[in-house]
Amino acid sequence: MKNTALILLVAAALAGCASKETKTEAPVADRSVNQPQANAGAGSMTTPNRAENLQGNPLTQGQLAKRSVYFDYDSNAVKDEYRGLVQAHSRYLTADKRDAKIRIEGNCDERGSREYNLALGQRRAEAVKKVMTVLGVNDNRIETVSYGEEKPVAQGHDEQAWSQNRRADIKYAGE
């Protein structure tokens, strides 16, 4: 009963965030497994390395290994297919890592002006943050940032590349 109430609460919260404009486009498959992480530099939040994977780090296994939430064109609505991913990270943060902090990085494809893409990337990051806070993660543990079109994971000027660049990446501090 509590799970049903929680799902309805999350759905209602996200419905308020959804764009009124709808665009028809081919469905995009879940490519969040094995996606390269964008420009991980020294001191930045990155995905765990191979040695940590061998040590049984839960962030490198199962649903928690997936770190990207993909979006439809010109949208910041978290799609149903990524709700489980966001819920898994929320459960991890509330149950296992009460002191962990994350950064959600919003990204866009190359279409649109620089200013528009920065704003859309921020809305995407904030949409993921909103779902996580509804699920019990304290909002002061979540930082959001937008890179707009500046950090693509796929080069190219077609729908396949664009769909991989329309995303919000979840990065854990201290990795």
pLDDT per residue over 46-70, tens digit each? 444 444 444 567 788 888 899 999 9
Backbone φ and ψ for 58, nearest 5 degrees, come out as -65, -20
Sign for the CA dihedral angle at 139, 141, 146, 152 comes to negative
Least confident of 41-55, 64-78, 119-133: 41-55
The Cα–Cα gap between 36 and 60 comes to 14
What the chain holds in terms of domains, given with CATH numbers, is 2-14+59-172 (3.30.1330.60)
Cα dist. 71→29, 45, 61, 79, 141 in Å? Answer: 11, 22, 23, 7, 23
CB contact at 8 A, 173 and 130: no
Cα–Cα distance measured from residue 103 to residue 37, given in angstroms and rounded to the nearest whole number: 13
Per-residue model confidence as pLDDT tens digits over 143-173: 999 999 999 999 999 999 999 999 999 999 8
Query: From CA 70, how far away is CA 43, in angstroms rounded?
Result: 25
Average pLDDT, the chain: 78
Percent of the chain past pLDDT 90, that is, above it, reads 58
Length of the chain: 175
- Which amino acid is it at 82? Y
Single-letter residue type at 116: Y
Decide which of 127 and 100 is more confident.
127
Q: Is the pLDDT of residue 115 over 90?
A: yes
